[in-house]
Amino acid sequence: MGALNTPVYQSLDQIRSDARNAIYANSQQEAEAVFEADQRVYDAVASHEERLIAQGEAHIESGRPVFDRTDALVRDLLILRGEMDNPGVRPTAALAKRYETLRRLAEAELTALENVERSALFQADKVGDPYGSLDSLRRKYPALAGVAVR
């Protein structure tokens, strides 16, 4: 703890390194201390990884309506294209209005898809490196430093 009882940030590597660099009365105490430090870090990272996976699964579910709307919109656009490609079809105000409506919807869905993609990539980076992700989170929020590993 630092000033005003604020936890002092200590990296996960430092927690493990401190156990290895400490002086012990015998090799048995050293082995137990190193194992305990490694196990605390492992347990914290495993728990963090489980939360990241759950968040990722929730993220996929929250993006599903965007995917469903996009699929429906693509079907509507393909139908419209088929109608417009028909040699006997003449341009009409109704056809132009339908095209404009679908175009505006497509632009909105593209933005929504880009947001889902950006969020998914951010989540994937964290899941890809749960050790680094947890260490970064603990660095940003030092109050978590004492909770996550000790």
Residues 100-131 pLDDT 10s: 999 999 999 999 999 998 988 888 889 999 99
- Cα angle 5, 6, 9 (rounded to 5 degrees) comes to 135
Q: Report yes or no: 134 and 44 within 8 Å, Cβ to Cβ.
A: yes
Task: Report residue 1's pLDDT band, with 50, 70 and 90 as the boundaries.
Answer: very low
Residue 119 near residue 59, CB atoms below 8 Å: yes
62-71 burial code (b ≥16 CB/10 A, e <16): ebeebeeebe
Over pLDDT 90: what percentage of the chain? 58
pLDDT at residue 83 is higher than 50: yes
pTM (2 decimals)?
0.69
